[in-house]
Structure 1
Amino acid sequence: MKYKHLFLFIFLLSISPIFSQQEKNIEDEYSAYFTLPRESLYLHLNKTSYFSGEEIWFKGYTYDQKNQLTSKATSNINVGIYDAEGKQFKKALFKAENGAMQGSFKIDSTFSAGTYYIKAETNWMKNFKENDAYIQKIEIFTEQVAKKDIVTKKERFDFQFLPEGGHMVADTKNAIGFKAINENGKGVVASGIVYDENKNEVASFEGNSLGMGKFLFQPKANHQYTAEVKLENRTLQTVVLPKSKERGISMIVNNPFPDKIIINFNTNNETLANNPSKKYKVLIHQNGNLKTIALNFDTTEKTISVLKKDLFKGVNTITVFDNNENPVLERLFFNDYFVKKANINISKLNTTNDSILFSINKLNLEENANISISVLPEVTKSYNPKHNILSNFHLKPHIKGFIENPQYYFQDMDRKKKYELDILLLTQGWSRYDWNDIFGSKPNGLNRFENGITVHGKVNRPNSGVKRIFLYATKNQPASFIDLNENQEFTIDNFFLEQGEEIRFSHMNNKGVFKKPSMYLRFNVSNNKDYISDVLLENSQTTQTETINFTVPDNFFYEDSQLLDAVVVVKNRNEVYKDPILVNAKVTDFTEQEYNRFINITDFINYNGYKVSEQLGKVSIITRRAPKAAPVIYFDNVRITDFSILFNLSSFNIERVVIDRTGVGEGVNAGFGGVIKIYTRKTPLFKKGDVSKMYVSSKAPYAFAVTKTYYSPNYTSYRSNTFQKYGAIAWIPELKLTKTQASNFKVYDTRTKNITLFIEGISESGDLISEKRTIQVR
């Protein structure tokens, strides 16, 4: 019996590797790694170079990478300004609605001249090892020297050979990519000749203006090859090619066709002899979506053709696995089959007073779209973003290295641009998603989607007997009663409180009068001080095409100009309130007389032509005359459909009631029940009273930034060279394009002859829009 147990134990040990290998299913592991949806962010800035006193305006777009649609899961967008070393300088919270948000930062006296970075991210992004935060370099100029003088450096170059798929295989065809860059990471033109050990020419190559290219090469086993490379400054370099592997397979991707992609796989006899099964697996994948193709070698060459409509929009990754399910080759390519060009059409309609009216529509998209527009002088040097929305969402999530001017490939994308993009993806090597991570631990989602602020509270006094508290209306939240648990605690989720705004609470005594409670409040929202790592700073650099070296004129802005955030109007005490909408409104301001006549607000409504019934905390209100109908009720300017908030509500808490039983002015929403508007008390009822004794108030330490309306800087001259290169004409953060008709927008007329519009946006079905249009306006 003992020997049987021993045999069983040995048998189980022998088959456990088989079971573990079977459990390591590539497709399942890959899908599990991308189970959680990944968000991306793009900020469309009005400029990337600013003067002290200007405002950094931006529009944010959120994107679901897997479904390639606007991401509406997150409302909280953290946007920060960081210094040249990546240290946090300023940070604010912005609210996204339907996948878009807008905001700004004032460039005040705390900024000094120099380089900064703007970064946008969400709390959900922290779940993933791959960083999807948006980062853009910006420059700030003050009235002193705007940029340091040029420092002359000795020119240095780096040249690399990058075999397609990751390696060269001896005695078979290989595609060899290459790139040549200078010390700033900018591509330089290069050409060269490949020689064998006997100095015989075996291949030649020539790169494009971006310093990249490819050529076909068939190395022999155990041979070393070198290349003489001629760079754009006419210097020569000798570069050794990577040594070829004696066994393996190579991959050559052909992607010039509109409807398909062709993949050539090559190997040698040595490989076939040492791989009895001759079986491989090819995965074509993107963000959790995948297609699996079996690869079997009958001869040393195998060709696979795949229809692009069966693949995924944007960058796809081809990964080849051997029969032990180890990844051996990888290559990125761009599938343009589903990418639509918007073909934005813009025309000038007319000039009226100090404004120019434009009409804009899209000619090639079937859905409505949401766009933003930066309007700058034609010769502007102030707009130099690293990415446009296409490169940011289609390219950036898949690349792990630095890319020079990635948006170039998506501007007026023609056959040449598509070829250059393919060379770029060849030379980028493997995707940024590491297979060790994919086969390892999976993202856990501990950092949740954030939608507003979570408010936790506890009523300390009265120390018992309080079952609910009254939450006063805020700009984004209606007034309501909040139920407490047995410990007089409560939680409010998804609360949107703006900077400077108070959250106020009262409890109601047995007479229905609001009283000030003693409370403990805690606000939960992610607000960790952070930094930008050196790697992300490096990848966020842009190539400086022109060195800036000038002094901002002392009189470039009017000295006495300033932005008025709000105008405060002081009301005359004798002025009678008049509702701006309702035509036949009866307005009642509640004084001591009304309070003594009507104990509760429902008593007052009942007296004014409505039938009110209250039972078990529910309130029903209908008209007394036929046809019987409920009124439209607004509570602190927020429409309420549940009238239970009025149950047992003392008129002591009410400052004004507006009633219009006809509802004329409200439109079809009023129906037959009329309109009632109720406003809670803001001033003391009694002469010696203090309304603040009715409620407790608090401000959140980290609340949502207030969205400002764009204003144009007050430049002293629109004809100066400084304005033409670095000034701003207009910023339109929110414009809806419909499929049925054109949209109009106005810009201030600066008398500039030609203007350039930088347009970014997204359609309802996820089609990305990025256009640059220059228009002659006079």
Structure 2
Amino acid sequence: MQHTFLRLYIVLFFSLAISVSYSQETSPQKDSISKKIEDYFFLERENIHLHFSKTTFFTGEKIWMKGYVYHRKKSAPFFTTTNVNASLYNEKGDKIEDKLFYSKNGSFIGNFELDDELPSGKYYVHVFTNWMKNFKEDESSIYKINIINKNDSSYSRDIADYSQVNITFYPEGGSIIEGIKNNIGIKVRDCNGNILSISEGELVSPTGQILQKISLNKFGLGKFELVPDLKTYKVRFVIDDKKIEGIIPAANPKGISLDANSYALKDKTIIKIRTNAASVENYIGKPVLMVVHQDDKSAIFDVDFKNKNLEQTIAFTNDILFPGVNTIRIIDSENNQIAERLVFKYPKENLKLDFESVKKEKDTAVIKSRFNFINTNISISVLPQESLAIDEENDIYGDFLLNPYFNEKSAYSKYYFNEITPKKAYELDILLLTQESSKYKWQDIKNSAPKTEFDFDFGLTLKGTVNQTLSNPKNFKVNMLALQYGINESTTINEKNEFYFNNLVLEESAFINFNLIDEKNRSTSFKVYPQLVNGRRAFNKTLQIKNKFCPVKSESVAIEMPEFAIGSITLDDVEINKTVKKKLKRGSSLANSHLIGFQFTEKNNQMDLLQFIQIHGFELVNDVMASTIQILSRTRNSFRAQKLSALIYVDDVQLLSNDMLLGLRMSEIDEIYLNPHAIVPSMKGNMGVIKIYRKNIMDSTEPSKSKAVPYIVKQGFSKNEAFKNISYTSTESAGFRNFGLIDWIPNTITNETNNFTFKFPTYGQKKARLLIEGFSADGKLISEIRTIDLE
């Protein structure tokens, strides 16, 4: 044994010395390949991971989520990404809703509100950026969630179908070669890709002889060795007392196979390249190269089949590899790929979280924590210990370290990255072996580098066209005013009568005023057509909803569901001034008694009057071509009826045109009385009343008409809402323990101290299950599930 180990060490050392010397040599072919790889991956690549508060939701709830954006080439947060598009789809691929989220410093938070009428079933959340559309490969992310209509009485879940089993083979390198040793990966699933409870099978010869046992891990993955001839070999499993067989694909008479090992020896990778006697003549005297690369970074080695040696060994230190997935390609003298293999190099460190203390203060758990790295950005989902509302298929490790290089999304990736052991490193290698091929095809890399056809969105861009003749556009400028967002900017008008405002951060339904300013700095009337040119985007690839190849086998389970307090939500604390009614000057008026009154004393309140009206139950609709605005009640008086216009009064004078409200600020208003639900008897069937009283009225004339043009932003960024949990009738029921949510803490950011404290309500639970995900400023990752005592 000692002699064997010594001989192996000498062989490895000698191979390493040769491979390093090979890697230092250059050639026109090597330079060309290196250039093609650099060109193909020259453009930056983003990846997005979503952490959900849970993955099973009820209608009436909100899908709360935190997004993380990763700069793959830098292995760090993508700090400059701002615009993230998100869509909710049903299982048929029908779009339910679109949103645009604002990402800052590599992360964003958001939600989808679930309509009470949605049917139970599987739904999908899809996220992408406009920049991702530049690439042939799909760089977007999609996530399956479950939605249960709260009127349903049972919970339906998919189960493995043992009647239909798929056995898939993955020869290392891509082909099974006749007459030499081949490593072959194997995956066993039901026909919809569900994992089956099988741990062992058999490799069977053409004569029925059992050649070896095949072990499968808990994910149904394994590998075995085979030296095939042209006869038929198969594998056999016993599943649910039934024999299932899979025929191994026929061997190719010529070719190259790979045997890659980056996990057995510390900091060493050994690549064995094998061919058979029928093939070796094709490679003698011709350059054969082994390319190791991750995105634009590469190392290239010579493979020499001189003396008709059928096996070449190249060994190197793992410094040659790059943290994460690396692609090994064997390239012939004509720049054709002969074989391919994915290998993995573990990052040096991941984030580690220590709970230094867990205390209970009344009905609140207080957890003092510490990270091993500074400047971390994490999100925490808190659920009952027995929760059925969350699965562990998706995690930040898979989305940032594995899935960018896979054609099919991996599941349960955190298994390979938490408490890393030699066994897990071996199993991770099998996961890479059982990929059909790299997502990045060599044919594309050598022939068609991506081009920049779609912009990298940095905020929103508003374009306006002035629809009137200006004597000299250069003498005018357009002012945009949205004081609630701190925006008061001006821009020039080009020769096409167009103007642009770039890099804006504006929420959906934000209210803006445009003014045309002449050379004497005076506001003048104008007609303008504003439009948002880069709001919500459409994706340019087919949505990757996984097709079912056979009928889904499911079972309805009588599991207790949570009961929700109908019509109530948890509100923020509100301070009520009981003396307001006494201060209202016009509240006792009979005409105002059925309206809600507000009084304003602040002189520096620069909120738009129209924004205040919008916040308090009315909808604003502007006709930008006519420069007019409608104020509608959000209430309909019959099913599918149109929304009706509200009656507006200023100083008890009814307005015939709402344009007179443009430009008014709350600092100019004394009192407002309104009711969006008031039914007003009239020929037009108005609904809703707004009565406005201004300060310092000098006469009874109508307010002067503003020259500002209003614009309401459609398809802007979704509002950044604070988390509000839905109300449950009981948090001690089995239904709450099955599907309830204790808390969602989406935005915990630590500083240079590494320490932080977070708290959440205990809701009477004895234990809680915490799903923690996030990254540090330098790209360290964490995805952990912790169970803590709350008693």
TM-score w.r.t. the length of structure 1 is 0.77
> Equivalents in 2 of 1:535, 1:475: separation in Å?
40
2:775 maps to what in 1?
762
Query: Which of the residues 450, 462, 466 maps onto 1:455?
Result: 462
Q: Specify the alignment match of 1:492 in structure 2.
A: 501
Classify the secondary structure of the residue corresponding to 2:736: helix
* 8 Å CA contact 2:478, 2:517 repeated in 1: yes
Change in Cα spacing, 1:775 to 1:550, as seen in structure 2 (3 Å) is: closer
Q: Tell me if 1:310 matches 2:320.
A: yes
Q: CA deviation at 1:39?
A: 1.1
Letter in 2 for 1:706: K
Q: Which residue of 1 aligns with 2:153?
A: 145
Pairing partner for 2:716 from 703, 708, 718:
703
Instruction: Return the match for 1:524 from 523, 528, 533.
Output: 533
1:133 matched to which residue of 2?
140
Match of 1:424 among 427, 431, 435: 431
Answer yes or no: is 1:773 the counterpart of 2:786. yes
**Residue 381 of structure 1 pairs with residue 391 of structure 2:** no
> Does residue 31 of structure 1 match 2:31?
no
1:319 pairs, out of 326, 329, 340, with 329
Asked if 2 retains the 8 angstrom alpha-carbon contact of 1:63 and 1:71, the reply is yes
1:750 maps to which of 752, 763, 774: 763
Aligned to 1:206: 215
Q: Which amino acid aligns with 1:690?
A: P
Question: SS state of the match for residue 302, structure 1?
Answer: strand
Tell me the amino acid that sits aligned with residue 424 of structure 1: L
Residues 539 and 754 of structure 1: is their aligned pair in 2 closer, same or farther, counting only changes over 3 Å? farther
Structure 1 equivalent of residue 304 of structure 2? 296
3-state SS of the aligned residue for 1:391?
helix
Report the counterpart of residue 642 of structure 1 in structure 2: none
- Amino acid of the residue matched to residue 430 of structure 1? S
| Residue 488 of structure 1: how far off its partner (Å) | 4.7
Alignment of 1:341-352 (within 5 A): 341-352=350-361
SS of the residue corresponding to residue 38 of structure 2 reads helix
1:174 corresponds to which residue?
182
Deviation at residue 487 of structure 1 after TM alignment: 5.5
Distance change (3 Å), C-alpha of 1:770 and 1:402: closer
Out of 340, 344, 358, which is 2:349 matched to? Answer: 340
Alignment-derived partner of residue 158 in structure 1:
166
Partner of 1:472: 481
What's the secondary structure of 2:487's corresponding residue? coil
1:155, distance to aligned residue in structure 2 (A) = 1.7
AA matched with 1:414:
T
CA distance in structure 2 between the partners assigned to 1:429 and 1:275 by the alignment: 26
Cα deviation, 1:78-129, whole Å, max 9, x if unaligned, reads 1111011111111111111111111111123242322211111111111112
Task: Give the Cα separation in 2 of the matches to 1:399 and 1:546.
Answer: 31
Question: Alpha carbons of 1:728 and 1:197: their partners in 2 closer, same or farther (altered >3 Å)?
Answer: closer
Instruction: Identify the match of residue 733 of structure 2 among 680, 696, 720.
Output: 720
Do residues 408 (structure 1) and 415 (structure 2) align?
Answer: yes
SS of the residue 2:416 aligns to:
helix
Q: Amino acid of the residue matched to residue 407 of structure 2? A: K
Distance (Å, rounded) in 1 between the aligned partners of 2:443 and 2:166: 29
Matched, 1:730 2:743: yes
Q: d(CA) in 1 for partners of 2:494 and 2:232?
A: 78
Cα displacement (A) at 1:347: 4.1
Q: Partners of 1:149 and 1:251 in 2: how far apart?
A: 41
Amino acid at match of 2:247: V
Query: In the alignment, what sits opposite 1:251?
Result: 258
Give matches, 1:13-92, under 5 Å: 25-92=32-99
**1:287 Cα deviation from its structure 2 partner:** 1.6
Distance 1:447 1:684, change over 3 A: farther
| Residue aligned with 1:537, SS | coil
- The answer to whether the 8 Å contact 1:137/1:540 transfers is no
Residue number among 390, 400, 403 corresponding to 1:396 in the alignment: 403
SS at match of 2:569: coil
Structure 2 CA distance for partners of 1:270 and 1:148, relative to 1, 3 Å:
closer
Identity %: 29
| Residue 368 of structure 2 corresponds to residue 359 of structure 1 | yes
| Cα gap change, 1:407 to 1:155, in 2 (>3 Å) | farther
* Matched residue, 1:280: 288
CA contact (8 A) 1:402 1:538 kept: no
Describe the shift of the 1:569–1:303 C-alpha distance in structure 2 as closer, same or farther (beyond 3 A): same
Q: Which runs of 5+ in 2 are unaligned?
A: 1-27, 586-598, 607-662, 669-693
Residues 452 and 508 of structure 1: is their aligned pair in 2 closer, same or farther, counting only changes over 3 Å?
same
Instruction: Give CA-to-partner distance per residue, 1:347-384, whole Å, 9 cap, x none.
Output: 44533344222222212x3x411111111111111112
Q: Within 5 A, what are the aligned runs for 1:627-706?
A: 688=701, 690=703, 693-706=706-719
In the superposition, relative to structure 1, how do residues 738 and 691 fare at CA in structure 2: closer, same or farther (>3 Å)? Answer: farther
**Distance between the aligned counterparts of 1:55 and 1:80, measured in 2?**
14
SS in 1 for 2:133: helix
With over 3 angstroms needed to count, the CA separation of the structure-2 counterparts of 1:683 and 1:290, relative to structure 1, is farther
Separation in 2 of the partners of 1:398 and 1:522?
Answer: 38
After superposition, the C-alpha distances for 1:424-469 in whole angstroms (9 at most, x for unaligned) are 1111132011222223332212111112221112334684465123
SS state at 2:57 partner: strand
Aligned residue for 1:183? 191
Is this contact kept in 1: 2:169–2:186, CA < 8 A? yes
Structure 1, gaps ≥5 residues long: 1-20, 580-586, 590-651, 658-681
Seen in structure 2, the aligned counterparts of structure 1 residues 692 and 437 have a Cα distance that, compared at 3 Å, is: farther
**Equivalent position of 1:261 in the other structure:** 269
Over aligned residue pairs, what C-alpha RMSD do you find?
3.5
What whole-Å deviation, never above 9, does each CA across 1:664-713 have from its counterpart, x for those lacking one? xxxxxxxxxxxxxxxxxx98986545376142111122111111100122
Measure, in 2, the Cα distance between the counterparts of 1:755 and 1:131: 37
Shift of 1:135: 1.0
Range with bigger deviation, 707-716 or 738-747:
738-747
2:385–2:787 contact (8 Å) kept in structure 1: yes
> 1 CA distance for matches of 2:418 and 2:554?
18
Instruction: Give the structure 2 partner of residue 16 of structure 1.
Output: none
Output the CA distance in 1 between the equivalents of 2:90 and 2:559: 22
Question: Pick from 434, 437, 450: which aligns with 2:444?
Answer: 437
The separation in 2 between residues aligned to 1:515 and 1:564, in whole angstroms, is: 45
For residues 499 and 67 of structure 2, what CA distance do their matches in structure 1 show?
33
Change (3 A) 1:460 1:308: same
> How has the CA–CA distance of structure 1 residues 153 and 263 changed in structure 2, closer, same or farther, with 3 Å as cutoff?
closer
Q: Distance in 1 between matches of 2:260 and 2:745?
A: 42
Please list, as runs of the form range in 1=range in 2, the aligned pairs for 1:541-620 lying within 5 A after superposition.
Answer: 548-550=557-559, 552=561, 556-562=563-569
CA contact (8 A) 2:505 2:717 kept: yes
In 2: Cα distance, 1:769 partner to 1:482 partner = 45
Secondary structure of 1:139's counterpart equals strand
Say which SS state the counterpart of residue 98 (structure 2) adopts.
strand
SS in 1 for 2:773: strand
Paired with 1:439 and 1:169, the residues of 2 have a C-alpha distance of: 26
